[in-house]
Amino acid sequence: MEEDQLFMRRCFDLARLGKGKVNPNPMVGSVLFLGHKVIGEGWHKQFGDSHAEVNCFNSVLSQNRAKVPESNLFVSLEPCCFHGKTPACSDLIIEKKVKNLSISTTDKTPKVNGKGLAILKSEGVRIQTNILEELGNWFVKVRTVFVTKKRPYIILKYAVSNDGYLGQPNKNIWMTNPISKRLVHKWRSEVGAIMVGTNTALTDNPKLNNRYFYGSSPLRIVPDRQHKIPASAALKDGTIATWILADGKKESSPSKNLQYISLPDGAAFLPALFDRLVATKIDTLLVEGGATLLNSFIDAGYWDEARIFETAVVLEKGIPAPILKGGNEVVEKIGSDRLVIRYREG
């Protein structure tokens, strides 16, 4: 059993190599063991490219190919069973005559969700499931939200003063330390989209790009229903794809990167935004404040994770930080800041 966990951990290590490159597909890793020897390894490297199982079989050296049917295939996620961008992995496993398959968790994509395993079982493949299942589910949590809730995985992010404020109206106040700032830029490199409220765009004039870490910058989103954000705002500089959620009247776009999108008002606003994001295959949304925007997500129950920097700054008065209840808390010290990450249950 311990050995199975060790092999599955190797699958997770491989899966992790696809981080930020495979979205909205899940990160998946796969290993072929013959006895105690690894004869193949693969992972899903890039969205649209071959799946982990295909790369794993392809990595087997010619002298070991005849032994594939006797080996045990470990995959961090249930093999797919439909022809999407690539052929079904369940068909490939049958074709390779693999007799033993071990997985961590099922793929919650409605077209799969146990069907991949059922097909393989009906072909006589012995299947072992639930190896480090909790960790396996954690690896595909973004995908699971994307396919079951049909919205992006939502991460709320904000900094709080020592006395519980998010900031002060019309004042650009920096609260976190430079290391936390760099970490936020790393997070920006890992998400598909980032959003702030209208007042934050006006007060802080943020660039919302990734300047302090490797990788790309996400799509920027800002509501501007009353057309308050000036053309000179950093968010309108046209350097990165940006959605301005402006009601009704169309504004001319000075750049092809700038897109004006009209969405319904009220409770339908966020679901309509999620539909647009899902249609654009964006599976993660980082919401960076301010309080009004964050509270609109919290009140509607639209969050999966919150990353809160508790800082040493004292403001004495200002805009109260959102109150978040529930979730499992993980705390990390980052110099003078305390980073609290809450994972919502269910």
Ligand X SMILES: NC(=O)c1ccc[n+]([C@@H]2O[C@H](COP(=O)([O-])OP(=O)(O)OC[C@H]3O[C@@H](n4cnc5c(N)ncnc54)[C@H](OP(=O)(O)O)[C@@H]3O)[C@@H](O)[C@H]2O)c1
User: Annotated active-site positions, please?
Assistant: 53
- The reply to whether 319 sits near ligand X by the rule CB under 6 A is yes
- The reply to whether 243 sits near ligand X by the rule CB under 6 A is no
Name the DSSP class of 168.
B
Of these, 106, 200, 209, 210, which contacts ligand X (CB under 6 A)? Answer: 200
- Going by C-alpha positions, the residue among 80, 202, 90 that lies closest to residue 147 is 80
What is the closest distance, in whole angstroms, from the C-beta atom of residue 168 to ligand X in the complex?
Answer: 6
Our CB check for Zn ion shows the closer of 51 and 157 to be 51
> Out of Zn ion, ligand X, none, which partner does residue 9 contact, by CB within 5 to 8 A per kind?
none
What is the closest distance, in whole angstroms, from the C-beta atom of residue 271 to ligand X in the complex?
Answer: 11
> Out of Zn ion, ligand X, none, which partner does residue 259 contact, by CB within 5 to 8 A per kind?
none
> Out of ligand X, Zn ion, none, which partner does residue 51 contact, by CB within 5 to 8 A per kind?
Zn ion
Our CB check for ligand X shows the closer of 87 and 271 to be 271
- The reply to whether 166 sits near ligand X by the rule CB under 6 A is yes
Of these, 62, 122, 226, 328, which contacts ligand X (CB under 6 A)? Answer: 226
Task: Identify the burial level of 140 via C-beta atoms within 10 angstroms of its C-beta, where 0-12 means exposed, 13-18 middle and 19 or more buried.
Answer: buried
How many Å apart are CA 214 and CA 58, to the nearest integer? 30
How many Å apart are CA 284 and CA 286, to the nearest integer? 7
Of these, 199, 210, 217, 284, which contacts ligand X (CB under 6 A)? Answer: 199
How many Å apart are CA 314 and CA 187, to the nearest integer? 26
What is the closest distance, in whole angstroms, from the C-beta atom of residue 269 to ligand X in the complex?
Answer: 5
The identity of residue 207, as a single letter, is K
Residues 254 to 293 in contact with ligand X, rule: CB under 6 A? 269-270, 288-293
Q: Could you give the 3-state DSSP secondary structure of residue 22? A: coil
What is the closest distance, in whole angstroms, from the C-beta atom of residue 326 to ligand X in the complex?
Answer: 20
Of these, 30, 50, 203, 284, which contacts ligand X (CB under 6 A)? Answer: 203
What is the closest distance, in whole angstroms, from the C-beta atom of residue 51 to Zn ion in the complex?
Answer: 3
- Going by C-alpha positions, the residue among 341, 293, 309, 318 that lies closest to residue 166 is 318
How many residues sit in the footprint of ligand X (CB under 6 A)?
A: 30
Of these, 204, 283, 305, 310, which contacts ligand X (CB under 6 A)? Answer: 204
Show the 3-state SS of 224-254: CCCCCCCCCCHHHCCCCCEEEECCCCCCCCC
Our CB check for Zn ion shows the closer of 81 and 222 to be 81
Question: Among 9-17, 114-122, 168-176, 337-345, which window interacts with ligand X (CB under 6 A)?
Answer: 168-176
Task: Identify the burial level of 122 via C-beta atoms within 10 angstroms of its C-beta, where 0-12 means exposed, 13-18 middle and 19 or more buried.
Answer: exposed
CA end-to-end span of the chain: 28
- Going by C-alpha positions, the residue among 286, 273, 299, 290 that lies closest to residue 197 is 290
Q: Which residues contact 317 (CB under 8 A, 6 or more apart)?
A: 165, 168
What is the closest distance, in whole angstroms, from the C-beta atom of residue 280 to Zn ion in the complex?
Answer: 23
- The reply to whether 158 sits near ligand X by the rule CB under 6 A is yes
> Closest residue to ligand X, Cβ-based?
290
What is the closest distance, in whole angstroms, from the C-beta atom of residue 265 to ligand X in the complex?
Answer: 8
Our CB check for ligand X shows the closer of 47 and 174 to be 174
- Going by C-alpha positions, the residue among 86, 141, 88 that lies closest to residue 117 is 88
Structure tokens at 100: 């033993």
> Out of Zn ion, ligand X, none, which partner does residue 200 contact, by CB within 5 to 8 A per kind?
ligand X
- Taking every pair of Cα atoms in the chain, the longest distance, rounded to a whole number of angstroms, is 72
Q: What is the contact surface with ligand X in residues (CB under 6 A)?
A: 158-159, 166-169, 171-172, 175, 196-200, 203-204, 223, 225-226, 228, 269-270, 288-293, 296, 319
